[in-house]
A and B are shown apart, each in its own frame.
Chain A
Amino acid sequence: MKKFAVAATLAAALMCSAAPQAAELEVTHWWTSGGESAAVAEFARLFDATGNKWVDSALAGSGTGANPVIISRILGGNPMGATQMNTGRDAEELIKAGLITDLTPIAEEDGWADFFADPKLLDACTFDGKIYCVPINIHSWHWLWLSDKAYKDAGLETPKDWNEYVASFPALREKGIIPFGLAAGWPLNGIPGVLLADVGGPELYLKVNQDHDAEAVRSPEFRKVAEAWAAVRDVVDPAEVVPQFSDVANQLIAGEAAGNIHGDWIQGEFALAGAVPGTDYECLPGLGLSNRIEGGGDAFYFPKLPEGTAQDVLDAQTALARLLVSPEAQVAFNLKKGSMPIRTDIDMSSANDCMKKAIDILKGPDGLLPGGETLNSSDTQQQLDDLNQEFFADKSYPIDDYIEAYAQIIESAD
Chain B
Amino acid sequence: MTEAQSLHGATALERTRPPGLLYNLFVRNISAKLAASPMVAIVLVVFIGCTLWTIWFSFTDSRALPNGAFVGFDQYERLFATRRWRISATNLLTYGIFSLVFTMVVGFVLAVLMDQRIRFEDGFRTIFLYPFALSGIVTGLVWQWIMNPTLGLQSTMRGLGWTNFTFDWITNTDMVLYALLIAGLWHGTGFVMVLMLAGLRSVDGEIWKAARVDGIPTWRTYLQIVLPMMRGVIVTTLVIVGSGIVRTYDLVVALTNGGPGLSSEVPAKYVINYMFSAGNLGQALSASTVMLLTVFVLLIPWVIVEFGPKKHT
Binding site for B on A (CB under 8 A): 64, 67-68, 71-72, 75, 89-90, 93-94, 96-97, 184-185, 238-242, 377-379, 381-383, 386, 389-394, 405
Contacts and interface: CB of A to CB of B under 8 A. Distances in A.
Interface stretch (B26-34, B219-227, B276-284): B276-284
B172 interface: yes
Interface stretch (B11-19, B114-122, B237-245, B253-261): B253-261
A386 B260 CA distance: 11
Contacts of A378: 277-280
Contacts of B277: 64, 67-68, 378, 382
Contacts of A383: 82, 278
Contact of A379 (B63, B150, B257): B63
Contacts of A90: 64, 279
Interface residues of B, number: 28
A139 B43 CA distance: 48
12 contacts: A89-B63, A94-B64, A185-B257, A185-B259, A239-B149, A239-B150, A381-B278, A382-B274, A382-B280, A389-B261, A389-B262, A390-B83
A67 to B, nearest CB: 8
What 3 A-B pairs are tightest by C-beta distance, nearest first? A393-B261, A68-B276, A382-B278
Contacts of B150: 239-240, 242
Contact of B279 (A89, A184, A238): A89
Chain B CB within 10 Å — which of A90, A240, A386, A394 has the most?
A386
B262 A382 contact: no
B173 interface: yes
A414 to B, nearest CB: 9
**Chain B contact residues, majority secondary structure:** loop
Contacts of B274: 379, 382
B276 A377 contact: no
A97 B66 CA distance: 11
Interface in B189-245: none
Nearest to A395: B173
A93 B261 contact: no
A377 B261 contact: no
Contacts of A75: 65
Given A185-B257, A389-B261, A393-B262, A93 B64 contact: yes
B168 interface: yes
B265 to A, nearest CB: 9
Contact of B171 (A64, A93, A97, A239): A239
A379 B283 contact: yes
A236 B65 CA distance: 39
Contacts of A72: 276
Contacts of B168: 238-239
Nearest to A89: B279
A71 B280 contact: no
A26 to B, nearest CB: 21
Contacts of B286: none
A318 B96 CA distance: 53
Contacts of B83: 386, 390, 405
A382 B283 CA distance: 12
Nearest to A186: B257
Nearest to B171: A238
Contacts of B283: 379
A228 B65 CA distance: 38
Contacts of A381: 278
B58 to A, nearest CB: 15
